[in-house]
Chains A and B, each alone.
Chain A
């Protein structure tokens, strides 16, 4: 395809420069539509949400411009009563908020740890050669493919206190003597959410870890075997260090998902204080109570927490998420 670009032939250094310049200019043009779109749907709404958190906007005043700037009052406000008594209010002194923060953190730590553990187990199994391996890999994709709403409903039915098959099974083998109200009782609600989340997302973890496992050269195992090294030691000294990068990336992806969890909690254990997370509380504040100011303050805090977590994780874990920009 000879075009006019070839006219500078014979002056290689200059042509190189032009070509590079031309490529960079084209690159910017190619990136522009995506960047505009991301500014419109991500950056701008984020900026507006953060702005709302400094106003007293409600569902009524959101569009008529009557909401006022209140500074940090949604976060923390000092009120002096007429009798001189000092009262603090705002999200940062809200017991419900801190309950949601601890629920979210507890949920994230436990679910991601369990998923990493079971994911590793499943990945190790899938990394072996055996009859029916393809079938197993297909089977574990099923929980991953099922929409969260559907899995919440499905498990809600299985965990039903009166007609649920889980109670039926457990009573059948004598594990429990009376049916448990899994999703309604505050003792077991978190457990129910954890069970469903681990069931649904372990496959994702397993597949990412499996990809890491498959990059380990087979002869490393052969060599270890010839030297008569105990399998457990091989696992700790060879396998684990080799899959660490894959594991670290899988863990952060899952952790970010866990920290923002909404649908599963909202559907499986509605109204339960034992499971309400930051996203759910913020959603309730905004949608149900129409308090855009405080709701946005909550969502902004969640955003800050997640950002800090990611920065810390990347720094401490020295994770390279860009996949080696060549």
Chain B
């Protein structure tokens, strides 16, 4: 596509603008996280001083490290569990024709789009009855409400794409549906599982409302709640430096994952959204 020189310049200014607006806030959080004392409160565009104090401050708090471990545990278990149930369910939804399939699919999509607040009080009761309030399992259970339908939905989309011939060949060889899934489809589905799992992991890692409601003690918090409730020596004083350091710590792993799996994530996001 040929463009005039002026058009080209304007186009690249637009592109620059998109990149700067996307990246700048996180860049600013990073430079803030390396500033301490009065330097922190002086707005600047380039790093002017360097101190690791905020990081030392955050990482020396045992509760923050504990929150990090909690988040990793909860998100991993939730995703593993959801994928386990979703693989078989999505096979049934994608490859077998049965009555009520369309309705079931819509219901599953509906559940994943659910306002979380609508189940909050009921879930609070259930969690207390099960005796898991303020325990990681409370969050694993409640996160299933959005990770499970999401993984089922996306895996169903991926599973539909697999060629029917492979399955037919396996069936003619006498393979049961279970064998078709575990021996034939699963090896082909690895990339899709990674994508779906990663997206669900990000969802669970970032969740805030349930984590805020179903935990009470500092040691049971997840990272988003820990950051939200991070406070300074006095209630008036917001520890911006420490908050930015904590934010950078929890975000950098995510950003690295997202950049590594960029193409897969885009594929997974669109598989969940656009009809293929």
Interface residues of A (CB under 8 A from B): 1-3, 5-6, 19, 22-24, 26-28, 30-31, 33-34, 37-38, 40-42, 44-52, 57, 62-63, 122, 125, 128-130, 132, 135-151, 153-155, 157-158, 160, 162-165, 168-169, 199, 203-204, 207-208, 211-212, 245-246, 249-250, 253, 256, 259-260, 262-263, 266-267, 278-279, 282-283, 286-287, 292, 295-296, 299-300, 302-303, 306, 310, 320-326
Smallest distance from the beta carbon of A204 to chain B beta carbons, Å?
7
Residue tally, chain B, CB below 8 Å to A: 105
Interface locus among B10-18, B47-55, B58-66, B188-196: B10-18
Contact yes or no, A153 B247, CB < 8 A: yes
Q: Knowing A49-B122, A325-B102 are in contact, say whether A299-B117 is a contact too (CB < 8 A).
A: yes
Contact yes or no, A208 B270, CB < 8 A: yes
**Among the listed A3, A27, A142, A263, which residue makes an inter-chain contact with B255, where contact means beta carbons less than 8 Å apart?**
A142
Smallest distance from the beta carbon of A38 to chain B beta carbons, Å?
6
Smallest distance from the beta carbon of A171 to chain B beta carbons, Å?
10
B-side binding surface: helix, strand, loop or mixed? helix
CB within 8 Å of A: which B163-181 residues: 170-171, 173-179, 181
Contact yes or no, B208 A139, CB < 8 A: no
Across-interface contacts of B98 in A (CB, < 8 A): 24, 27-28
Q: Knowing A24-B96, A26-B177, A48-B121 are in contact, say whether A163-B208 is a contact too (CB < 8 A).
A: no
Smallest distance from the beta carbon of B104 to chain A beta carbons, Å?
8
Q: Which 5 A-B pairs have the closest CB atoms?
A: A45-B122, A48-B122, A27-B92, A260-B115, A30-B88
Across-interface contacts of A155 in B (CB, < 8 A): 25
Q: Knowing A33-B88, A146-B251, A322-B102 are in contact, say whether A299-B43 is a contact too (CB < 8 A).
A: no
Smallest distance from the beta carbon of A63 to chain B beta carbons, Å?
6
Q: Knowing A49-B118, A283-B117 are in contact, say whether A42-B262 is a contact too (CB < 8 A).
A: no
**Among the listed A30, A260, A286, A295, which residue makes an inter-chain contact with B92, where contact means beta carbons less than 8 Å apart?**
A30
> Once bound together, how far apart are the Cα atoms of A165 and B240, in whole Å?
13
Contact yes or no, B171 A19, CB < 8 A: yes
Interface residues of B (CB under 8 A from A): 1, 11-12, 14-15, 18-19, 21-23, 25-26, 28-29, 32, 40-45, 85-86, 88-89, 91-93, 96-98, 101-102, 104-106, 108-111, 113-126, 128, 141-142, 144-145, 148-149, 152, 157, 160, 170-171, 173-179, 181, 202, 205-206, 208-209, 213, 223-225, 227-228, 240, 243-244, 247, 250-251, 254-255, 257-259, 262, 265-266, 269-270, 273-276
Can you name 19 A-B pairs with beta carbons within 8 Å? A2-B174, A41-B142, A125-B14, A128-B11, A132-B15, A136-B19, A139-B19, A142-B255, A142-B258, A143-B22, A143-B26, A147-B206, A149-B224, A163-B40, A203-B22, A208-B269, A279-B116, A283-B213, A286-B121
**Among the listed B21, B43, B174, which residue makes an inter-chain contact with A165, where contact means beta carbons less than 8 Å apart?**
B43
A-side binding surface: helix, strand, loop or mixed? helix
> Once bound together, how far apart are the Cα atoms of A158 and B88, in whole Å?
46
Smallest distance from the beta carbon of A260 to chain B beta carbons, Å?
4
Across-interface contacts of A203 in B (CB, < 8 A): 22
